[in-house]
Chains A and B, each alone.
Chain A
Amino acid sequence: MAQAAVNKERSFPHPEFTDSEAGALTFPSSTSRSYNYYKPAKARATTYEDVTFDVQPDPERHLSQGWIYGFANTPGGYPQDWTRLKSSDWHQFRDPNEEWEKTIYRNNAAVVRQISLSLENAKRAKAYSHWNPAWVRFIERNLGAWMHAENGLGMHVFTAAQRSAPTNMINNAMAVNAAHKLRFAQDLALFNLDLAESEIDFDGQVHRDVWQNDPAWQGVRENAERLTAIGDWGEALFATNIVFESLVGVLFRSDLLMQISARNGDYITPTIVGAGENDYSRDLGYTRALFSMLTRDEKHGDENKAVLGEWLSTWVPQSLRAAHELQPIWSQPNEKVVTFADSLDAAKATFRSVLADLDLEAPKELDQ
């Protein structure tokens, strides 16, 4: 087994000069120094493309023997019919965030460090002791409930979906999205733990009951659970990142928490939630890029728009209901700052602009 066995140092022969460096000789292909089996999106290939493109093979590209394992009754590999959406060339998709190993760790480590520092400082400064009881309740119940949604979607929407899309570029983007969600959920949970251990009277356990039973949160929980139950990866991604995130996620994080925390004497929550918002704007970036590629597809664009329209009429009412059921929490803090109607209008406006960007019509349900 790996760890136990790294033993018995091996000796190495003396180095020998071999003149095997680039340019030592000239011969056919001696200067062929770029991956030449795919066409980069721009003139020059990015590192991101080089380390991601074609790593997941495709019978439509170079895979000559086809997939060599199949499922019991269906082909193996990455069948294109695992979503109803169609593309004339799935391989055109590039993640605008250009995520690969280096960016994943650099970005997430930076977030983690920033949050840890804020939490340490808050602890030292006894920052929570200024919180009024209404705010303490608000955070322990509502931010506490929300972290479940982040975790559930990270695990059962994004981690699940990254097995399913037809290209490595799409699957990696969803895998990074999963990492964001899971990290953010844990950031919130550990914040919750800090609060429970701080000098204030904070109930670190009530979040479970709120998530499971508080009527205000049941619409969100139902929405989240139904998102995890979608089998079509394209629908899961769309219903989560375009619909749910706009109408519920952004509504709660940006249009409520980010607006009211400071006025309630809380400077820590915006730091943590802001990191989650920042993740989401990155994740929305790749999601928009993907769906605009599909709605603008020369051959399948119209059909895709029809399918996405169907999905909008399923998921917009679901998420609007979740949003409306959340309304009571707007009146819980002492300092109210924004009304539910203002927040919802803001969320809807952003949602409309995302839809316009995708060349999709806003469903009539949105006007209700």
Chain B
Amino acid sequence: MSRQSLSKAHAKITELSWEPTFATPATRFGTDYTFDKAPKKDPLKQIMRSYFPMEEEKDNRVFGAMDGAIRGNMFRQVQQRWMEWQKLFLSIIPFPEISAARAMPMAIDAVPNPEIHNGLAVQMIDEVRHSTIQMNLKKLYMNHYIDPAGFDITEKAFANNYAGTIGRQFGEGFITGDAITAANIYLTVVAETAFTNTLFVAMPDEAAANGDYLLPTVFHSVQSDESRHISNGYSILLMALADEDNRQLLERDLRYAWWNNHCVVDAAIGTFIEYGTKDRRKDRDSYAEMWRRWIYDDYYRSYLIPLEKYGLKIPHDLVEEAWNRIYNKGYVHEVAQFFATGWPVNYWRIDPMTDTDFEWFEEKYPGWYNKYGKWWENYNRLRYPGKNKPIAFEDVDYQYPHRCWTCMVPALIREDMVTEKVDGQWRTYCSETCAWTDIKAFRPEYEGRPTPNMGRLTGHREWETLHHNRDLADIIKDLGYVRDDGKTLIPQPHLDLDDQKKLWTLDDVRGINFASPNILLNEMSDADREAHVAAYKAGGPAGRPAPAKV
């Protein structure tokens, strides 16, 4: 279609909406934002006549690449270290995708301007596309990769695993609570605009470097829909800014959404990119370098800061602190180490790090070896069953962490942990901002202003609580992380499939008691708890307990 006929077509389509006089659409989802003064803002437009053929074309390329990968036997050259982490990643991501589809009516409810409704409805269809195309990619991996265990249980594992739950925020956050907080600020202004770059661009690059060129095909195809979504979100944001009363909420939501996305996405994607790769060429960017480019420069400096002139309060301090956590406080390294510590309750295998890896880490993050090197050497030493328990239950100078009540990633940067009694329970948080999110932001009142539509943090938020004082073998069995011989575990702390004796079974983990740090914390006397928290905060890095006071 020519430009002129395209703009005529767009104009025509806007004639389809009307002012109802008998009844107005049900408002299922509330918001504390108001849009009474909102000027009309048109996002990027899309008409169905060009949309469907365009997407079909993209699909054909994806399916062509899939056929090609199978015919070309791609799996003879994929790195297992990489593919194993896809069992986690691809179990999580289809849910946020479908949640984005489900979030669209919340935004439509909240924002009265029909100009933007079309774009949101098209986004809904895109997100159904993304979710199912990713499930299909995962199925292909399950069918053609050497070790299907973990892919075969994918959605169940996603739903009953601690790491799945961390990822689930990046989905439930889109569809719950205040409609604008969820479907606009958290989903679009932060998750899609900032973090899809690491998810859908940086990560696929790493996949390709590990012999997997299918993931890039699928995820670049997904990402190509994202500019329209970003434009939808931007339009709503500008409309929200038009009303002074919204600014306090915008400031709150941007702080929450930014910080939560950082906690969750950087934990996961950072780990995949730094610890899931075999590409250790020195000119390969580290996750920190990628983050600096994609998030700091392209999002923070080019997208967020220019919004200041419209009255948006930017969380400069939190952007800097996220960078500080990633670059100086070892956030990604701490998380990767925690994943590896918890290997028996994962549904993927984690490859030990080698000297080549050590060298690369030292180059990219000077001082890495002194902090993490010993622990990874121990991980390697303890990788087979028989003589030892899983590393979490051996003495390797590592204190199992408390979990952050808000983001559910553990409080790994030990000195930053915040402990508060909230709603009658002692809770731990990874950071001041996560504490604020639970204590101040997700409440019916914010800084003296009623926020009746704000969501709540709910659920059994500490995963370990569910399994407190149980035998590790029983836990793993109940979770279903056992292979089809009924005894070999799906997770393994190495990649060696060639010898059954190297594979851990239920028998190897029986008799080990599993405990919840939060339950234990709440059982302590005030004095014990204070001492415990002080010692915890004096610990680290790399999970080292603080030296006993003399």
CB within 8 Å of B: which residues of A?
A: 1-6, 8, 10-13, 15-25, 27-38, 47, 50-57, 61-72, 75-77, 100-102, 104-106, 108-109, 111-113, 115-116, 147-148, 151-152, 154-156, 159-164, 168, 171-172, 175-176, 178-179, 182-183, 185-187, 189-190, 192-193, 204-205, 207-208, 211-212, 221-222, 225-226, 228-231, 236
Assess whether A2 is in contact with B201, with CB atoms less than 8 Å apart.
Answer: yes
Partner of A162, one of B16, B101, B457: B101
CB within 8 Å of A: which residues of B?
A: 8-9, 12-13, 15-26, 28-30, 47-49, 52-53, 55-56, 59, 63, 73, 75-80, 83, 94-95, 98, 101-106, 108-109, 117-118, 120-121, 124-125, 128-129, 131-133, 135-136, 139, 142-149, 152-160, 165, 168-169, 172-173, 175-177, 193, 196-197, 200-201, 205, 208-209, 211, 223, 226-227, 230, 278-279, 281, 283-285, 293-294, 298-299, 302-303, 408, 444, 452-461, 463, 466, 480, 483-485, 487-488, 490, 497-498, 500, 503
In the complex formed, the residue of A with least CB distance to B453 is A72
A348 to B294 Cα, complex, angstroms = 59
Partner of B211, one of A2, A16, A51, A61: A16
A330 to B142 Cα, complex, angstroms = 58
A349 to B466 Cα, complex, angstroms = 56
Question: Can you list 18 A-B pairs with a CB-CB distance of less than 8 A?
Answer: A2-B200, A15-B211, A23-B146, A29-B484, A55-B94, A61-B159, A64-B466, A66-B460, A68-B457, A102-B132, A109-B53, A111-B52, A112-B49, A159-B105, A159-B120, A160-B108, A225-B24, A231-B28
Note all chain A residues with C-beta closer than 8 A to B160: 62-65
Note all chain B residues with C-beta closer than 8 A to A192: 12
Note all chain B residues with C-beta closer than 8 A to A178: 121, 124-125
Assess whether B49 is in contact with A187, with CB atoms less than 8 Å apart.
Answer: yes
List 8 A-B pairs, minimum CB-CB distance, nearest first: A37-B156, A28-B483, A51-B135, A69-B176, A62-B159, A21-B75, A29-B149, A29-B483
Partner of B133, one of A12, A54, A101, A228: A101
Assess whether B146 is in contact with A24, with CB atoms less than 8 Å apart.
Answer: yes
Assess whether A163 is in contact with B28, with CB atoms less than 8 Å apart.
Answer: yes
Assess whether B139 is in contact with A76, with CB atoms less than 8 Å apart.
Answer: no
Known: A148-B18, A225-B21. A186 touches B201 (CB 8 A): no
Note all chain B residues with C-beta closer than 8 A to A20: 75-80, 83, 145-146
For the complex, would chain B's binding face be called helix, strand, loop or mixed by DSSP majority?
helix
Extra A-B contacts (17), CB below 8 Å, given A20-B75, A151-B16: A19-B146, A20-B77, A20-B145, A27-B488, A27-B503, A29-B484, A29-B488, A30-B148, A64-B159, A76-B176, A76-B458, A106-B56, A163-B105, A163-B106, A182-B48, A193-B9, A208-B18
Assess whether A229 is in contact with B25, with CB atoms less than 8 Å apart.
Answer: yes
- Quote the shortest CB–CB distance from B93 to chain A (angstroms): 10
Assess whether A77 is in contact with B176, with CB atoms less than 8 Å apart.
Answer: yes
- Quote the shortest CB–CB distance from B393 to chain A (angstroms): 22
Note all chain B residues with C-beta closer than 8 A to A105: 52, 55-56, 59, 129
Assess whether B175 is in contact with A163, with CB atoms less than 8 Å apart.
Answer: yes
Note all chain A residues with C-beta closer than 8 A to B460: 64-66
Assess whether B143 is in contact with A159, with CB atoms less than 8 Å apart.
Answer: no
Assess whether A159 is in contact with B209, with CB atoms less than 8 Å apart.
Answer: no
Known: A61-B159, A64-B160, A155-B117. A18 touches B76 (CB 8 A): yes
